[in-house]
Amino acid sequence: MSLTNATAAPTTIQANGKEYRIKPLTLGDLGSLERWLQQDYMRLGREQAEQTTDKETKLLLIEQAFTKAREVSVLDLLGQSNSSLTLVVRVLYEALRKEQPEITIDEVEELFGSLTKAKAEEMYSAATDVGLEPVEDGAKKKAP
């Protein structure tokens, strides 16, 4: 864990000609992210179920979504290379809005889409103290 994350001090990062202050996520923030992720799984399950008329298939899709939602752990997902970009953007949004309350999720998505891999890694690490490095043999790698 970095000193910045241990003290929860914001990190200032330059990106796209603008200065951003990123505050590390707290356990409460991670809990909120986990609830958001669980709700997103359930929303996706409902949307998929609405696409079919077969009652058994509908129930199966909803059951699978609820099972996945119950099993999801944001702590398990942070730092995995297979984490969805939606989750990465949401993590950055939560960390950025602490110091820039006017920032929107759409602005963060646009910002993230314009970043180099190195700059995205720097911002994500400042928010989570975890890198975006690939997972090897199931073990998470930490950012240097």
Tell me the pLDDT tens digit for each residue of 11-44.
888 888 899 999 998 888 888 888 988 998 899 9
- Please indicate whether residue 135 or residue 75 has the higher confidence score (pLDDT): 75
d(CA 20, CA 23): 10
Q: Alpha carbon 70 to chain centroid distance?
A: 17
Q: What pLDDT band is residue 124 in, cutting at 50, 70 and 90? A: confident
Whether 4 contacts 126, CB under 8 Å: yes
Burial class of residue 60 (count of CB atoms within 10 Å of its CB; 0-12, 13-18, 19+): middle
